[in-house]
């Protein structure tokens, strides 16, 4: 089917290949996989393991052969960049709709999750994520739920709703705002209500959470997603340029040979963070990472923590900031500061877990940071692989 959707972007690339998409036209799950892989290929669009995509498609019932409406949605724990067609949960859409009268309110959210496997289509046993009803109850064939940093900048701002209104006026958009709600069944009903209350709505920003976009076709959905994210990037960039100084301006001005200094400190840092489980390190070498690490607000912003729960899953509640003046302290001084900060970070994280853990919460899975920020060096991430 020919499409008339066009796109102009400033930051993101339109990676959609009409020839490849056409070759998958008779394989709706492969087309969903293709769209998902394109979105996951750019970490500015969504973080590793974050976000989910879906398509509502007609598939033959394995018993009767009659076509039935099926929701195909990214399975729990999948990654958009690497997901294959077998990574999507398949569920009867009418059975998911039938859950709405069963819902007994927020206090009983968990019992709804136990009903999702009963809606599985055929022999599909991919675990359906808690975001499944968020896709099922939106009246669109193709839906993307993503966590781009530019959208989070809007979603997590104290004046985010007002800024979204400004964004809509500037770009002629009709994106709705839905305030923060834990992503489960209640939020799914809130999204449905938001669509009903905003005729012509072409997206939703979830307060402190992320972005929903959609389309009538897979390509339309993809184009809407990257166009929206790109426009939000331009909007954030305009605000940053208007303010002049980012993150309060530079506080640390001393310079070092980053390559040799990181090489000198990384064995000590990685060893210190491997006491609970062995980790490997990734050094972010971008100018933006160094600008943030050197900034006046870096320590305060690190302490404030992540603004999106989907990021928190990968980065813990906050990075660990290590104050360091290379001219005064040297490598030995930095090693000492790392030890001091690590001890206080572990203590604070254990206290955070104890304060918020429920009787059925999993045990504490380590208290080391996943992200370390050091002036003059930048940002270093740690993970098991």
The pLDDT score that the predictor gives to residue 91 is 98
The pLDDT score that the predictor gives to residue 50 is 86
Distance (Å, rounded) from C-alpha 242 to C-alpha 132? 40
What domains lie within the chain, and their CATH numbers?
18-242 (3.40.225.10), 258-383 (no CATH)
The pLDDT score that the predictor gives to residue 255 is 87
The pLDDT score that the predictor gives to residue 5 is 47
Contact (CB, 8 A) for 266 and 336: no
210-226 per-position pLDDT tens digit? 999 999 999 999 999 99
In the chain, which residue ranges form alpha helices assigned H by DSSP?
A: 18-23, 28-40, 93-97, 109-113, 132-136, 149-155, 160-171, 185-197, 218-243, 258-273, 287-293, 298-304, 309-315, 326-356
Distance (Å, rounded) from C-alpha 188 to C-alpha 161? 20
CA-nearest of 149, 15, 129, 119 to 78 is: 129
Distances (CA, A) of 185 to 10, 55, 103, 182: 36, 19, 8, 9
The pLDDT score that the predictor gives to residue 201 is 96
Distances (CA, A) of 366 to 268, 286, 359: 19, 29, 18
Distance (Å, rounded) from C-alpha 88 to C-alpha 164? 32
Cα radius of gyration (the chain): 23
Helix, strand, coil share (%) of the chain residues, nearest 5: 45, 15, 40
Contact (CB, 8 A) for 228 and 173: yes
Contact (CB, 8 A) for 342 and 320: yes
Residues of the chain with pLDDT under 70: 1-6
The pLDDT score that the predictor gives to residue 175 is 98
What is the DSSP secondary structure assignment for residue 103, as one 8-state letter?
-
Distances (CA, A) of 43 to 35, 38, 147, 359: 15, 11, 9, 35
Distance (Å, rounded) from C-alpha 251 to C-alpha 218? 47
């Amino acid at each position: 089917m020919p499409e008339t959707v066009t796109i102009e972007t400033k930051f993101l690339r339109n990676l959609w290949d009409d020839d490849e998409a056409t070759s998958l036209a008779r394989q709706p799950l492969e087309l969903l996989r293709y769209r998902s892989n394109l979105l996951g290929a750019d970490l500015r669009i969504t973080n590793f393991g974050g976000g989910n995509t879906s398509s509502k498609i007609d598939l033959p019932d394995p018993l009767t052969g009659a076509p039935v409406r099926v929701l195909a949605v990214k399975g729990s724990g999948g990654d958009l960049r690497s997901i294959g067609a077998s990574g999507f949960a398949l569920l009867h859409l009418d059975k998911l709709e039938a859950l709405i009268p069963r819902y007994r309110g927020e206090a009983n959210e968990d019992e709804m999750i136990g009903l999702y496997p009963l809606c599985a289509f055929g022999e599909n046993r991919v675990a359906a994520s808690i975001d499944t009803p968020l896709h099922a109850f939106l009246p669109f064939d193709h839906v993307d739920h993503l966590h781009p940093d530019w959208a989070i900048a809007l979603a997590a701002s104290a004046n985010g709703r007002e800024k979204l209104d400004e964004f809509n006026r500037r770009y002629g958009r009709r994106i709705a705002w839905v305030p923060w709600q834990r992503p489960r069944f209640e939020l799914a009903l809130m999204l449905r209500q938001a669509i009903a209350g905003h005729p012509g709505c072409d997206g939703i920003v979830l307060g402190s959470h992320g972005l929903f976009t959609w389309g009538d076709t897979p390509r339309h959905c993809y184009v809407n997603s990257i166009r929206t994210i790109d426009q939000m990037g331009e909007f954030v960039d305009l605000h940053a340029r208007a303010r002049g100084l980012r993150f309060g301006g530079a506080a640390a001005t001393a310079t070092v040979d980053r390559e040799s200094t990181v090489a000198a400190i990384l064995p000590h840092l990685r060893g210190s963070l491997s006491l609970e489980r062995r980790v490997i390190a990734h050094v972010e070498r971008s100018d933006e990472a160094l600008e943030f690490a050197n900034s006046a607000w870096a320590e305060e912003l690190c302490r404030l923590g992540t603004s999106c729960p989907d990021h928190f899953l990968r980065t813990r509640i906050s990075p660990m900031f290590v104050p360091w003046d290379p001219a005064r302290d040297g490598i030995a001084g930095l090693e000492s500061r790392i030890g001091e900060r690590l001890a206080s970070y572990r203590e604070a994280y254990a206290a955070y877990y104890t304060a918020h853990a429920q009787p059925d919460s999993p045990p504490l899975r380590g208290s080391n940071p996943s992200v370390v920020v050091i002036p003059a060096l930048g940002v270093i991430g740690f993970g098991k692989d």
